[in-house]
Chains A and B, each alone.
Chain A
Amino acid sequence: MTSASMAGSGRIRLRWATRRRPGTFLVLLIATVLVMMPFLWMLSIAFKPEAEVFTDVPQILPADPTFENFATAWTSGNVGRAMINSTIVAGVAVLVNCTFAVLAGYAFAKLPFRGGTLVFLLMISTAMVPVAVTLIPLFLMTKGFPLVGGNDLLGQGGTGLLDSLGAVVLPHLIAPLNIFLARQYFLGLDDDLGEAARIDGANELTTFWRIYVPLARPLVAVVAIFSFTAVWDDFLWPLVVTSSLEAETVQLALSKFLTGGNVMYGPAMAGAVLVVLPVVAVFIFNQRSFIAGLSEGGVKG
């Protein structure tokens, strides 16, 4: 809606606006440059040879640009392995959320059942619980996960899912927020569509799959983005449940650049660029979904 009305205002209005509002333009320009500054330095240092990182006067443009930092970060910094790990975990989280969170949200919106509101509220309320509260119990549950990592049926004897990608994904499989967003979305879709399909003899699953899912692509995009970033950005949980390089995630790999007190800024920034890049790319191609998802909770919730 926003972009449509903006596009509609046309060129004449735009030129008028810039002429009449040089102040607005200037303040926005300065604010944006300031806000972008850390990103510019991140890029700059990522391409600098070690000798150039700390000079008397920091130069934004590397004098002798190099890709060496990226190679160092990828191999000895374990960022390569970590990117693969985080991608796998995020992929699983996206798939499960897009299936089961969307399905649940749909049911809450379109197939009301007795006690449904209570179940819904109970599920959503868990979104407000601080991470610290469930951190320790989830850690123990991960350690006591039955029949894996040397555990018996009762979860005794071994280390369960600890130090595996399964542990990393465990709290991210279905996010309450995504169920909330799905319910909001489907509440906005017409009931008649489903009714028509049911009269034609479609069962509930077919109605959902054939009628509503095709209409819910923007929702699925938002849920996918949220599920992806939740896993990709997570720091505390992987820090607690993983220990080996084999199970390391991206944020953990980055944090390892500062062990020992002497930070290798070149490789660290190169690693940060690699880790930030996918998120920025997803954002650039799905700006509207990102912002829609964020504002949905704000204005309607």
Chain B
Amino acid sequence: MLFVAPAAGYIGIFHLFPVLYGLYLSLTTYSPLDRGGPELVGFDNYAGLLNDADFHASVRVTVQFVAEVLPFAVAFALGLALLANRSTRGIGLFRAGLFLPRIVPLAAVSLVWLWLYSPDGWFNHVLGQVGLEPRTWLLDEGSALHAVAGMRIWKALGGNMVLFLAGLQAIPRALYEAATMDGANAWQRFRYVTLPGLRPVTTYVVILNIVYLAQSFAEIFILTGGGPLRSTTTTNFLIYEEAFQNNRFGTASAMAFVLFALIFVFSFMVLRRMGRNP
């Protein structure tokens, strides 16, 4: 027990206590610039969020962002994992190369994508090559969020692929052999052995992605700053603005807990739907 004490004490103070402290702050009105401490206002902050257009918009943006990234980040990663699970020349290099975006810092690579998406950047060059008009990817209200989503798909693929690879290798070979002996073709082996075998990993991947994507911040900060016309202001970005630019710690805390609840509910729904055995 003595061995656990330092870690338990630290996590208690710096991870667990802040949750309670935050819950308390969400029931107060508090600006760090004011003299005096937080003032209790009950559930006013939460009630206020019900009519807060900016907050509603941010939740819509966050949900749309997750919904745009998730299917591609999961489906493409599964496809890549199925390919990378085969032995072919240079497979180690392919795996490492595909995995690389997962480990590089989000803020750093966002800078690269800022150039790729810039008016004279690579994407417009490619469009020009195939005879299409250049676009203002990040500067257009209609496309900015899609552009950020595109970057996140790229960023998420490799990590998901590696998880799927681990999942594929955990499926007993004997199942495939038995299926082959029963006359199952490649598609049937995939449908009735691989997919059910991957169910636990897929559930994990989907939940992990929801939790990460719903907290999108650094790439928004660098690529769009929440604009144009707030079209990429995710809830996490709004919380940052509310707390550290508008100095409203109370409402920002309430927003954080609503975000927490939303992530929790979505993850739980996924767990209920996918976690069950078929």
Contacts and interface: CB of A to CB of B under 8 A. Distances in A.
Contacts of A179: 7, 11
Contact of B11 (A29, A137, A138, A176): A176
Contacts of B256: 130, 132-133, 135-136
Given A13-B87, A134-B19, A287-B96, A257 B7 contact: no
**B: contact size bracket:** 35 or more
Nearest to B207: A128
Contact of A298 (B14, B204, B252, B259): B204
B224 to A, nearest CB: 11
A263 interface: yes
B94 interface: yes
Nearest to B201: A298
Interface stretch (A61-69, A187-195, A214-222, A276-284): A276-284
A17 B262 CA distance: 47
Contacts of B105: 229, 232-233, 235, 250-251, 275-276, 279
B87 A14 contact: yes
A136 B260 contact: no
B97 A140 contact: no
B83 A122 contact: no
Contacts of B18: 133-134, 137-138, 141
A6 interface: yes
A168 interface: no
B27 to A, nearest CB: 13
Interface in A172-221: 173-174, 176, 179, 204, 208
A236 B19 contact: no
Interface stretch (B41-49, B113-121, B140-148, B187-195): B113-121
Interface in A48-99: 54-55, 57-58
Interface string A231-243: 0110110011000
B6 A100 contact: yes
Interface string B11-55: 100111111011001000000100000000000000000000000
B125 interface: yes
A265 B111 CA distance: 8
Nearest to A295: B166
A128 B211 contact: yes
Nearest to B129: A57
What class of interface size applies to chain A in its complex with B? 35 or more
Interface string B38-76: 000000000000000000000000000000000000000
A174 B94 contact: no
Nearest to A20: B88
Nearest to A297: B204
Contacts of B22: 133-134, 136-137
Contact of B121 (A58, A174, A208): A58
Contact of B104 (A2, A9, A279): A279
A294 B14 contact: no
Given A38-B109, A133-B257, A208 B3 contact: yes
Interface centre among A14, A132, A138 (most CB of B within 10 A): A132
Interface of A: 2, 6, 9, 13-14, 17-18, 21, 24-25, 27-29, 31-32, 35-39, 41-42, 45, 54-55, 57-58, 100-101, 103-104, 106-108, 111, 113, 116, 119, 122-123, 126, 128-141, 143, 170-171, 173-174, 176, 179, 204, 208, 229, 232-233, 235-236, 239-240, 250-251, 254-255, 257-258, 263, 265, 268-269, 271-272, 275-276, 279-280, 283-284, 287, 290-291, 294-295, 297-299, 301
